[in-house]
Amino acid sequence: MSIEYLKQATKTPATGEDGTRERVAAMLQDLEAGGEAKARQYAEALDHWTGAIIVRQEAIAEAGQALGQQLKDDIRFAHEQVRTFAEAQRASTQEFVTELPTGVTAGQRLIPVHTAGCYIPGGRYAHIASALMSVTTARVAGVKQVIACSPARGASGGVHPAILYTADLAGADTILALGGVQGIAALAFGLFSGHPADILVGPGNRFVAEAKRILFGRVGIDLFAGPTEIAVIADQSADPELVASDLVGQAEHGPDSPAWLITTSGELAKRVIERVPHYIERLEEPNRGAARDAWRDYGEVVWVDTREEAVSLSDGYAPEHLEVHAEDLDWWLEHLSNYGSLFLGEETSVTYGDKSSGPNHILPTKGAARYTGGLSVAKFTKTVTWQRMSRDANRTVGTVSARIARAEGMHGHAYAGDDRLAKYFPADRFTLEA
């Protein structure tokens, strides 16, 4: 086995977490104790926003009027793609009833959560697509109340018009002009809306991600998210220009966004390393600086001998986004296991998945793709079970359960079985000891 790092990262996605955790924990305590007044204070201090927190319908209508028709048409196209894919997800999981042996009838129900809190980033970039991915999917799942929040832009800017238009189109019941930790706290505690979230979803910076992590348990979350990641697997058939372009396209998310290349071609690896700076330099600031820092500190290029080694290494990264620029795409689809979303072939860029192709772009990072997928209709739905049994079923199920309970030392459980057997079958004698 031969693995050679032609460029190795000096930092990992976990770098700098401790300081963030302490700061966010203190803010959440302040916000829970201080409520809406404290949230307004943070909005003013951090976003310079003193306007209304609940966005009025008039402001949403004005936002739509401020957008060009082409952008609105594009948003509607992307909404249809995301909605259609989410509807197919919903249809893929069914309620059922089944007859088990001994007279037990059991089933599964799919029940949407009541309230979803959808965080939509809007600081450095206006994340139009994140509004589509979170709000649309919640609506398709059947969530009763969908509360969205996004940061206001300065003293008079308010929430970005495109985000307002998109969140309203996707079906948000309420939109809050709040970002960061104070936005997450408002969603979780039901500030301003009166509807505490059952689940918090949506991407965000490290403070948003940490707030969700701390609140997990009190509320559900979509996943533990960190900075955006991309990995590209490429062989000798790949176009180094497109590989370099795609790596930089994700690195512009922020200075801590990992970008990894795994290749079976040493020549391609060298060519990509040469071309990445060119694609960074064509960006404008602040994107250029973010991508430059991300590539310097988090970029890796790894040269391997075989595609099996590439699979093993990629599954170890468990990247959020995984592109494959290689021959025999079906082989890669069959053998790769750990990724948030897979993009097969050079025609299928992460950019398309981020913006409009259909599958959800809210995906696991920091290796979480080893055990979970991204946001889906299922995240907003509780899969619950029910059961009913005949009295006669107690002959078998009751005696077995009582014996297991006694073997565990749980005699109260055992008596619950004993008492039913005594009621339903008073003339019978059962072996109730393990």
List residues with catalytic annotation. Answer: 320-321
Provide φ and ψ at 261, rounded to 5°: -120, 125
Give start and end residues of each alpha helix (H) in 222-379: 240-251, 266-281, 287-298, 307-317, 329-335, 350-355
Q: 286: cis peptide before it, omega within 30°?
A: yes
Q: How distant is the alpha carbon of residue 279 from its chain centre? A: 28
Q: List the beta bridge partners of residue 304.
A: 3
Nearest of 190, 164, 198 to residue 39 by alpha carbon: 190
Rounded CA separation 89/72 (Å): 26
Does the bond joining 319 to the residue before it have cis omega, within 30 degrees of 0?
no
Q: What's the longest Cα–Cα distance across the chain?
A: 87
**Which residue is associated with the tokens 């305590």?**
29
284: buried, middle or exposed (CB in 10 Å: 19+, 13-18, 0-12)? Answer: exposed
At residue 86, the 3 state secondary structure works out as helix
Tokens of 285: 């600031």
